[in-house]
Amino acid sequence: MARRKDIRSKLEYHQALKLEKTGDHNLALKLYQKSSTIDPSNIHAWNRQMILFRKYKSKSQEIALVKSAIAAYRNSIQTSHKQWLALHQEKAESTRELATVLGLIEPDGMPKTEYAILTKWETRLYLLEYRLKNSRPKKSKAKSKTKHKSTAKAVNKPATKKK
């Protein structure tokens, strides 16, 4: 069952990649979303969505996406760990004491592991939130156009020569 999900997710991802290369970004984004909902551990689909949002310069949507990607990926890791524990209960019980002594298990029973992608996403989330919070408000275009017109008139006036 899980293998079937991986295959479907990869197919959706590759179709989206082809669409993105042809320039159909909206449909590609939908297929990337479908791929990541089928298999939340599909890192490539999450990353391509983040890249497309970065290209669109929509920081608020990218923040929401990064938050959901982190949560979905962590949930996927936990479920796969629980499935492995159910299949290998005897092995896990025999090594649990050693793992706790070595400090390899967190208090909730999950193994302490560093996922590089989660670290990158958390860093990206922090930077996006910081930039969004500290961004300057955009000036209206009407004000800036009037300033340019008045300076343009002053520059275009011919200089009078005195003899």
CA-based R_g, the chain, Å: 26
Most confident of 60-74, 105-119, 131-145, 149-163: 60-74
Query: What value, to the nearest 5°, has the Cα angle with vertex 45 and ends 41 and 51?
Result: 130
Q: For the segment 4-20, what is each residue's pLDDT rounded down to a tens digit?
A: 888 888 999 999 999 98
Task: State the pLDDT confidence band at 99, using cuts at 50, 70 and 90.
Answer: confident
**104 membership: H or E segment, kind and range:** none
The sign of the CA dihedral 73, 57, 13, 17 is negative
| Cα gap 4→8, rounded to integer Å | 6
Confidence of residue 50 (pLDDT cuts 50, 70, 90): very high
pLDDT band at residue 47, thresholds of 50, 70 and 90?
A: very high
Q: What is the pLDDT of residue 147?
A: 52
**Do residues 54 and 62 lie in contact, with contact meaning Cβ atoms separated by under 8 Å?**
yes
Q: Which amino acid is at 156?
A: N
Decide which of 3.40.50.300, 1.25.40.10, 3.30.1380.10, 2.60.40.10 is the CATH code for 2-133.
Answer: 1.25.40.10
Is the per-residue pLDDT at 125 higher than 90? yes
What is residue 163's predicted lDDT score, i.e. its pLDDT? 52
Mean pLDDT on 56-71? 90
Residue 59: the pLDDT is 86
Considering only 94-108, 114-128, 148-162, which range has the smallest mean pLDDT?
A: 148-162
- Whether 27 has a pLDDT exceeding 80, the answer reads yes
